[in-house]
Amino acid sequence: MIELLSLVFVVGYAAIAFEHNIKLNKAATALLTGIICWTLYISFATDKELINEQLAEHLSSISGILFFLMGAMTIVELVDAHDGFVVITDKISQTKKTSLIWVVGFITFFLSAVLDNLTTTIVMISLLRKLIKNDQDRLFFAGIVIIAANAGGAWTPIGDVTTTMLWIGNQISTGAIITKLFLPSIACLLVPLLFLSFRLKGNVERNDTLSENKKQHLPRKHQNLVFFVGIGALVFTPVFKTITHLPPYMGMLLGLAVLWVVTEFMHASKEEEVKHSYTVISALKRVDIPSILFFMGILLAIAALEASGILVMLAESMTKAIGNESIIVVTIGLLSSIVDNVPLVAATQGMYDLTVYPQDHFFWEFLAYCAGTGGSILIIGSAAGVAAMGMEKINFFWYMKKISLLALLGYFAGVAVYLLQHWLLGL
């Protein structure tokens, strides 16, 4: 069974990578892979009820991510429908590629630390559509957004789901993770940006036609209100989670509900025809459902690998084969570019308890950095990458050719900085 499950996952993964060659939508492939994996898993099991319980448990977690994603996408679409992003785009006057990529990179980096890498990617991809008209230029900037979002999410407890897992599990504390991972995370972004500063040439063309296509321009105060309520809803999500201890998607849906009420009252006096394009119902129609289904399929497939014990066996075999904890963690980071970092970190948490590595130990902090940023190396390796892949239809091999080396350089730059500050400064 283990070999068959692994084979199905590898074949499915390859089909996603070769989407354009085989002319099969990646969402269909991902769903097929996820469902076949669970079908095989239950077919070989004697306790069918246990497998169904495992599926229900994983589906609960997956649905939380999907509702979070759908809520964030709807908020972003609603802000976009009201031209709310002009609040930011009007402030970004750079058209020179080398200048703009630094601005986009740093906005993404710090926004990701406050929100999370998935939400930040959705927001920044929407901004890029306003800032850059040329498709190829925009794809390249989207690749940098993925690197910056994952790097920015690694150094705060709420910036990346794996860091949040370690924080909730008491493996890391807020003060320590911010202090010790900020420099490695900034190095992860700086190295690709410095590299590109010598390679990028020319200017980008602004995509002003999007605003011109609006049937009716809204008053600036309405644009500002929707923008700040929408961004406020996104920022409030981790605060809501901390206060209530409810899952993040509840905070995201609360934010969507509040924005829904605000926009309904804002356009209450308008005729139905004019009002419709500014409603949540209209925004929901523009949400990329195939991307959400793609996400679901990928997470189902990975959940099957985790439930069947394949990922735990992989982690255990790495420990026996490698031994050195630094190399193990770096390898986990590299593996997270292929297999989602969440089950890898979960498996690692299960293998080592706090008696082996106490809170704020080198091992846990290094794991937070590597698992958080290693997923940037391949587009399918992180939630940010998967979201960008769906929203901008980024080809797997295009990303590997144009972005993967930059992500790899940044990843190892952060590894070097973390190890140096640990060995030289004792941090």
Read out DSSP for 311-356?
HHHHHHHHHHHH--HHHHHHHHHHHTTTS-HHHHHHHHHHHS-TTT
Give bridge partners of residue 96 from the DSSP assignment: 203
pLDDT of 80 higher than 50: yes
pLDDT of residue 356: 77
pLDDT in tens, 17-59: 777 778 888 889 989 999 999 999 999 888 889 999 999 988 8
Mean pLDDT of 402-422: 94
What gap in Å lies between CA 378 and CA 369, rounded to an integer?
16
Q: Please name the residues in contact with 86: beta carbons below 8 A apart, sequence gap of 6 or more.
A: 130, 211, 223
In whole numbers, what is the pLDDT of the chain averaged over residues? 84
pLDDT of 256 higher than 60: yes
Mean pLDDT of 259-268: 90
In a domain, 28, yes or no: no
Q: Which two tokens stand for residue 55?
A: 């599926």
What gap in Å lies between CA 334 and CA 341, rounded to an integer?
10
pLDDT of 296 higher than 90: no
Number of structural domains the chain divides into: 1
pLDDT of residue 217: 65
pLDDT band at 395 (very low <50, low <70, confident <90, very high): confident
CA of residue 62 relative to chain centroid, distance: 14
Helix (H, G, I), strand (E, B) or coil at 74: helix
pLDDT in tens, 316-357: 787 778 778 889 889 889 988 887 676 677 667 766 767 878
In a domain, 79, yes or no: yes
Of 70-84, 149-163, 247-261, 341-355, minimum mean pLDDT range: 341-355
CA atoms within 13 A on the CB side of 27: 12
In degrees, rounded to 5, the angle at the alpha carbon of residue 305 between the alpha carbons of residues 299 and 308 is 135
What angle do helix axes 97-114 and 117-131 make, rounded to 10 degrees? 150
Highest mean pLDDT among 71-85, 133-147, 196-210, 405-419: 405-419
pLDDT in tens, 278-288: 888 888 888 87
CA of residue 117 relative to chain centroid, distance: 5
Q: Which two tokens stand for residue 207?
A: 């995509």
In a domain, 53, yes or no: no
Ramachandran category for residue 323: left, alpha or beta (phi over 0 → left; psi -120 to 50 → alpha): left
Residues constituting the chain: 427
In a domain, 52, yes or no: no
In a domain, 6, yes or no: no
- The domain of 157 spans 62-425
In a domain, 10, yes or no: no
pLDDT of 13 higher than 60: yes
* C-beta separation of 318 from 328 below 8 A: yes
Positive/negative CA dihedral, 229, 232, 236, 237: positive
Positive/negative CA dihedral, 341, 347, 351, 355: positive
In a domain, 23, yes or no: no
Find, among 392, 396, 402, 401, the residue nearest to 138 by Cα.
392
Find, among 159, 212, 198, the residue nearest to 182 by Cα.
159
| The model's pTM | 0.73
In a domain, 18, yes or no: no
Select the more confidently predicted residue: 382 or 367. 367
Give bridge partners of residue 203 from the DSSP assignment: 96
Give bridge partners of residue 426 from the DSSP assignment: none
pLDDT of residue 166: 83
How many other CB atoms are there within 10 angstroms of residue 91's CB atom?
Answer: 8
pLDDT of 216 higher than 60: no
Of 42-51, 67-76, 83-92, minimum mean pLDDT range: 83-92
Of 87-101, 104-118, 139-153, 333-347, minimum mean pLDDT range: 333-347
